[in-house]
Amino acid sequence: MEHKIALITGASRGIGAAIARILGSAGFKVYGTATTNEGVLRISAFLKQDAIEGQGMLLDIADPESISNLKSMMADLNSEPSVIINNAGITKDNLLIRMKHDEWNDVITANLLGVQQICKIFLRDMIKRRWGRIINISSVVASIGNSGQTNYSASKAGLEGFSRSLAVEVASRNITVNVISPGFISTDMTNKISLDSRDHIKRKIPLERFGTPEEVAEVVAFLSSDEANYITGENIHVNGGMYMS
């Protein structure tokens, strides 16, 4: 992989930050995005601390103009990505019967339309180079469902179908497209779950624990490598056995 530049959306913390660190340690130049200037500075700081080349970038995944600006900035830096990890996403949970129109639309726009726009705008460079990796982060709830998350589940299930179809479209250009579906991972979000609820969830997981961001990041690193040349259109579950397919 001569062109080792990775773009990771939603990289200021949790799984995204772990991916940035793992790929950086593998020799990638890393560009991580965040929705706030504070998040951008946090990314740049930990990359610098770990002696990883790259920086944080501002991105609103739901705003096409913001995506276009990101593309222009990376082109100015002569840093068109050869690996894209679509990790950014949002939740706006509610029972369907109470769900507001904006709660549905905002989640679908950020989690599905945003990924489509990121892939489309950077894909031409990959096609010209005849090499690329696109890795989309889904969720176990796309497979098992979850009360109060019809919008989120729909967005992630759609992401998986989108990824399979895109994998077929770009395979002849030596570009692979895969999905990783994490289960319950120890992040700021899961740490807000009550201890009783966490214990209840762990009893449903054969490995009897939550995963770590690094365990997801290691799978991303493999799919980003030359060793994964013959894997495309797949959905790899990283959930401790909570869901098996």
Active site residue 152: yes
Q: What is the mean pLDDT of residues 100-116?
A: 97
pLDDT tens track for 67-86? 999 999 999 999 999 999 99
Domain 5-235, classified CATH 3.40.50.720, yes or no: yes
Indicate whether 2 pLDDT > 60: no
Indicate whether 177 pLDDT > 70: yes
User: What pairing do the DSSP bridges indicate for beta strands 83-86 and 132-137?
Assistant: parallel
Q: What are phi and psi for residue 133, nearest 5 degrees?
A: -135, 125
**Which pLDDT belongs to residue 3?**
67
Indicate whether 58 pLDDT > 70: yes
Of 31, 152, 230, 243, catalytic: 152
Indicate whether 215 pLDDT > 90: yes
CA-based nearest residue to 166, from 117, 221, 109: 117
pTM of the model: 0.95
State CA 29 to chain mean position distance. Answer: 17
Helices (H), the chain: 14-25, 37-49, 64-76, 101-108, 114-129, 141-144, 150-170, 195-202, 213-223
Indicate whether 245 pLDDT > 90: no
